[in-house]
Structure 1
Amino acid sequence: MKTVNLSEKLAMFSSHWDPHVVADYNGNDVMVVKFQGEFPFHVHAGTDDFFLVLEGEMLMDIEGEPPQAVCAGELFVVPKGVSHRPRAEQECKVLLIEPKGEPNSGDPETAAPKPRI
């Protein structure tokens, strides 16, 4: 048991769309990531997708719906099976929670590795 300083963890990398594991929680990876630009549309067939914006603003595109702005201090959950795309015009810092081994793209072939920091 120890405190995890999310600001310190986020300062350890500068890449975008590159989630880093900072803790484990009930079989889930707790990760921090920086968004800028847009991620491809994708689906997580077996799990919901959790986003908590720590700093900045992201837009969540859901196929067939208008984009939804998610600001610092707000969270957004995409239900499993729903095609979505997060994006951010300016750099945005986000906390993610996903089951261990869940690819960030929904597809193991295109997923980014999730290093622990």
Structure 2
Amino acid sequence: MQIMDPVSIAEALELVKDHWTPRVVGRVNDQYVKVAKLLGELVWHAHDNEDEMFLVVYGHLRIQLEGDREVLLDPGQFFIVPKGVQHNPVAEEEVGIVLIETVTTAHTGSVESPRSVPIERQLPSA
């Protein structure tokens, strides 16, 4: 068993330089804990086999969902996108978030986009 040092979410977010590029800051069993900065919109996609949790640290995040539904998140709020649900995160201004995702979750599901980031680039050694 490996014991980690405490993680400051604010400090971890300061180290993120590129929007839409999550960074793994921890792992709980088969779940990664990631931080990311968002600006603009990502791409419509789904994760066929995994739920995805968005927790807003600062800013305001809009998550577009299939069926013309939207979820608006303020700092301190989170939302879980169920597996298989098409969604598109949108940030009118910069947003800092924490993501909790299964280690098998592909960044943009099966959709290839210039914003897709492979897990190798999200890990701490990257």
Taking structure 1 as the reference length, the TM-score comes to 0.92
- Residue 21 of structure 2 corresponds to 18
Runs of 4+ in 1 over 4 A off after TM superposition: none
Alignment correspondent of 1:93:
96
Match of 1:64 in 2: 67
SS at match of 1:7: helix
Deviation at 1:67, TM superposition (A): 2.0
- Runs of at least 5 residues in structure 1 that lack an aligned partner in the other structure: none
1:82 maps onto 2:85 in alignment: yes
Rounded to whole Å, the distance in 1 between the matches of 2:85 and 2:66 is: 8
- SS across alignment from 2:6: coil
The Cα of 1:81 is off from its aligned counterpart by 0.6
Matched, 1:112 2:117: yes
Amino acid at match of 1:56: G
Q: Equivalents in 1 of 2:123, 2:40: separation in Å? A: 21
1:34-49 correspondence runs (5 A): 34-49=37-52
The TM-score with structure 2 as length reference comes to: 0.86
- Runs of 5+ unmatched residues, structure 2: none
Using the alignment, how far apart are the partners of 1:95 and 1:13 within structure 2?
12
Q: How many residues are matched?
A: 117
Over the residues paired in the alignment, what is the CA RMSD in angstroms?
A: 1.5
For the residues of structure 2 that align with 1:3 and 1:26, how far apart are their CA atoms? 17
Deviation at 1:14, TM superposition (A): 2.0
